[in-house]
Amino acid sequence: MSVRTHLRAPIEWRGNKISPIGQAVRCTPSAWFGFVWNRPVAVKIQPADGEPYIRAVYDLTRIIQILIVCASLVVMLLLNRMTNRR
C-alpha cells in the first residue's frame, strides 16, 4: 500500500500559476487484485506578485455524511443510557 501526493503542472492564468494537488492511495494486496483511490487535496496558487498560498479542497458531502453517522451513534448511545437508567 502506498500513498503518494502528485502535483500537476501549473496552469498559467492572468499571471497566476495554479497547481492542483492530488493524492493517490494505491493498494495491491496481491498480484491479482488492486485498487486505487485518487482524490483532490488542495490547490497551490502562485500569484504574479506575492507569496504562494494553498487552498484546501474539501469533500463536503463526505464530511456531512461522517457527521450524520457520528451524530446518530451519539443519539443511539444516549438512548441506550436513558433506557438503562429507567
Partner 1 sequence: MSDVEPEPTQPESTNEFDIEKAMDNIHDTLDQFAATADVNAVYGEAIEHENHLIIPAAEVISFLGFGIGGGSGDSEGGKGVGIGGGGGGKAFARPVAVIVASERGVTVKPVVDFTKIYLTAFTALGFITAAWLRMHRGK
Least Cβ distance, residue 49 to partner 1 (angstroms): 13
User: Which strands sit side by side in the sheet containing 2-7, from one edge to the other?
Assistant: 2-7, 16-30, 11-13
Q: CA–CA separation, 55 vs 12, rounded Å? A: 17
Instruction: Return the number of the residue (31 or 49) whose C-beta is nearest partner 1.
Output: 31
Least Cβ distance, residue 85 to partner 1 (angstroms): 12
Q: CA–CA separation, 36 vs 34, rounded Å? A: 7
Interface residues with partner 1 (CB under 8 A)? 4, 6-8, 11, 13-14, 16, 18, 20-22, 24, 26, 28, 31-40, 43, 45, 55-61, 64-65, 68-69, 71-72, 75-76, 79-80, 83, 86
Least Cβ distance, residue 5 to partner 1 (angstroms): 9
Q: CA–CA separation, 82 vs 30, rounded Å? A: 48
